[in-house]
Amino acid sequence: MVKLMVADPIGLGKYLRMVAKDPAEQIALKANPNEKIGQFLAAPVPAGVTIIPNFDTATETYIAIPWEQDILATEAKVQVGDYGFPNFYFSLEPQSSDLSERERAYDFRVGDYVMSRCV
Domain count, the chain: 1
Q: Is residue 109 part of a domain?
A: yes
Residue type, 65: I
Q: Would 21 be classed as within a structural domain?
A: yes
d(CA 39, CA 50): 14
Asked if residue 42 belongs to a domain, the reply is: yes
- Cα(24)–Cα(108) distance, integer angstroms: 23
Within-domain flag for 3: no
As a whole number of angstroms, the distance between CA 118 and CA 41 comes to 17
pLDDT digits (tens, 9 = 90+) for 82-113: 766 666 666 666 677 878 888 878 787 777 76
Residue 2 placed within a domain: no
**Statement: the pTM of the whole predicted model exceeds 0.75:** no
Residue 88 lies in a domain: yes
Expressed as residue numbers, the domain containing 47 is: 9-52+62-115
pLDDT digits (tens, 9 = 90+) for 2-55: 778 888 988 999 999 999 999 999 999 999 999 999 999 999 999 999 999 999
**Maximum CA extent, the chain:** 47
- Confirm whether 57 is domain-assigned: no
